[in-house]
Each structure stands twice: as structure tokens, then as C-alpha cells.
């Protein structure tokens, strides 16, 4: 079964620019993009907890900037 959709010319140009190769169909391009955007495996409770801990550390100022770390390592 096929369905026709209407796209603005700008949208079609953007979609064409996202093709992995010139012969990739619009359907293949859209499915590839949706596969990248949607991860069917939810984050584990442990991962969610670690994210929350990291955010709390940042809010409390327990972090260093990239510039500070680069300077410490002598990369600047």
C-alpha cells in the first residue's frame, strides 16, 4: 500500500539533502531518520538515576568546564 503526501518544496529539498545516496527513496530516507530518532529500548532505572545525579552535580556547581580541563592537561 502506498500513500501520497504533500511536501513544501523546501521540505522536499531538505529531505533530498538527507539521503544516504541519490537512489535512496523518500520512504527509505524517512525510515532511516525515524530509526535514528526513536530508540525502542527505554533507559534503565540505573541510567536514569545516574543522569539525575549528574544534573544535581551540575546544579550544585560540582563540575568543571572544558576550558578548565584543557588548561589542566596543557592543551591550551
d(CA 39, CA 57): 27
Q: Is it the case that residue 76 has pLDDT exceeding 80?
A: no
Domain borders along the chain are: 8-41, 44-76
* Whether the model pTM is above 0.85: no
What does the pLDDT look like over 3-53, one tens digit per residue?
Answer: 999 999 999 999 999 999 999 999 999 999 999 998 888 999 999 999 999
Q: What is each CA distance from 63 to 41, 48, 51, 68, in whole angstroms?
A: 29, 19, 14, 10
Q: Going by C-beta distance under 8 Å and a sequence separation of 6 or more, which residues neighbour residue 18? A: 29, 33
Amino acid at each position: 500500500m502506498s500513500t501520497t503526501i504533500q511536501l513544501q518544496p523546501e521540505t522536499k529539498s531538505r529531505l533530498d539533502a538527507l539521503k544516504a545516496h541519490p537512489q535512496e527513496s523518500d520512504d527509505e530516507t524517512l525510515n532511516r531518520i525515524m530509526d535514528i530518532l526513536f530508540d525502542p529500548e527505554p533507559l534503565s532505572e540505573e541510567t536514569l538515576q545516574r543522569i539525575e545525579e549528574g544534573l544535581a552535580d551540575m546544579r550544585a556547581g560540582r563540575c568543571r568546564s572544558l576550558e578548565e580541563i584543557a588548561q589542566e592537561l596543557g592543551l591550551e
